[in-house]
Chain A
């Protein structure tokens, strides 16, 4: 009896720890509407980045609503895999207020941009909903 209880507790603990990632909505499609891949932009002037999303909706962080998430813009870094909490730093910009575009300013040089959706807890979907990684040049 005691063993069974322990096993039950262990199973519960494991299922809590290894919570399943939120499944991605079918056909969800995330893309950067602007700038274009390979685009050259002028330095010293902020550029607008458009977040394109199809077959899925936007919800602010903390909001649990079916088939929604919020945008994260990854700058000069690789996307995490599915079921990973997206870091919050200068390479991972969070848009937890439901924003669908932003203005960024980057130093001269080549930079990569990529969008990744996070769920209400900033965790990536399974499979991860992410855009193509694009490269822009700031001149």
Chain B
């Protein structure tokens, strides 16, 4: 009897786990900068072109497997806690309308850019899909 209860309980727990889990990312999913490239010198306003492979773009709130929307991280590291929504501030630009390009204006100097994909609730996938962090110099 006790064994049965344990089995039932573990079954319940196992079923509950996926609900708490983050959205899985497809194997080989890759987000990257089409433009600009690492080390490039750019004007104060420039287009950022966001590339995505083996995965699709969907606006925020869209519950479709193997999709997500872009976030551009400017002069900041990846969030430490990937279980939480990507912050929404001047260092974390959200593209919740499914945009794949953005016109960015930055002050002169050296800046880092990194792309991070997130799911319908702005929470990064598991494993997270992010680009290499690149550096551009705004002249």
Contact flags (1/0) for A105-137 with B, using CB distance below 8 Å? 000000000000000000000000000000000
Please tell me if B100 contacts chain A, counting CB pairs below 8 Å.
yes
Q: Select which of B47, B98, B99 is within 8 A of A98 by beta carbon.
A: B98
Q: How many residues of chain A are within 8 Å of chain B by beta carbon? A: 22
B57 contacts A100, CB within 8 Å? yes
Contact flags (1/0) for B93-126 with A, using CB distance below 8 Å? 0010111110000000000000000000000000
Smallest CB–CB gap between B97 and chain A, Å? 4
Smallest CB–CB gap between A122 and chain B, Å? 15
Please tell me if A46 contacts chain B, counting CB pairs below 8 Å.
no
* B99 to A, closest residue via Cβ: A57
B98 contacts A57, CB within 8 Å? yes
Interface segment, A10-18, A48-56, A76-84? Answer: A48-56
Contacts of A51 in B (CB 8 A): 100
Smallest CB–CB gap between B46 and chain A, Å? 13
Within 8 A of A (CB), among B23-63: 34, 47, 49-53, 56-59, 62
* B54 to A, closest residue via Cβ: A99
B95 contacts A60, CB within 8 Å? no
Within 8 A of B (CB), among A53-83: 53-54, 56-60, 63, 65-68
With A57-B97, A98-B98 as given contacts, are A52 and B49 in contact (CB-CB < 8 Å)?
Answer: yes
Q: Is the interface of A mostly helix, strand, loop or mixed?
A: loop
Contacts of A95 in B (CB 8 A): 56
Please tell me if B64 contacts chain A, counting CB pairs below 8 Å.
yes
A100 contacts B62, CB within 8 Å? no
Q: CA separation between A59 and B99, bound complex, in Å?
A: 9
Contacts of B49 in A (CB 8 A): 33, 52
Please tell me if A37 contacts chain B, counting CB pairs below 8 Å.
no
Contacts of B64 in A (CB 8 A): 60, 63, 97-98
Q: A58-B58, A63-B59 are in contact. List 6 more A-B contacts (CB 8 A).
A: A57-B100, A58-B99, A63-B64, A65-B59, A68-B97, A101-B52
Using CB atoms and an 8 Å cutoff, list the residues of chain A in contact with chain B: 33, 50-54, 56-60, 63, 65-68, 95, 97-101
Using CB atoms and an 8 Å cutoff, list the residues of chain B in contact with chain A: 34, 47, 49-53, 56-59, 62, 64, 66-67, 95, 97-101
A-B contact pairs, 29 of them (CB 8 A): A33-B34, A33-B49, A50-B51, A53-B99, A53-B100, A53-B101, A56-B99, A57-B95, A57-B97, A57-B99, A58-B56, A58-B98, A58-B99, A59-B57, A59-B58, A59-B62, A59-B98, A60-B58, A60-B62, A63-B58, A63-B64, A65-B98, A67-B97, A68-B97, A98-B67, A99-B57, A100-B52, A101-B51, A101-B53
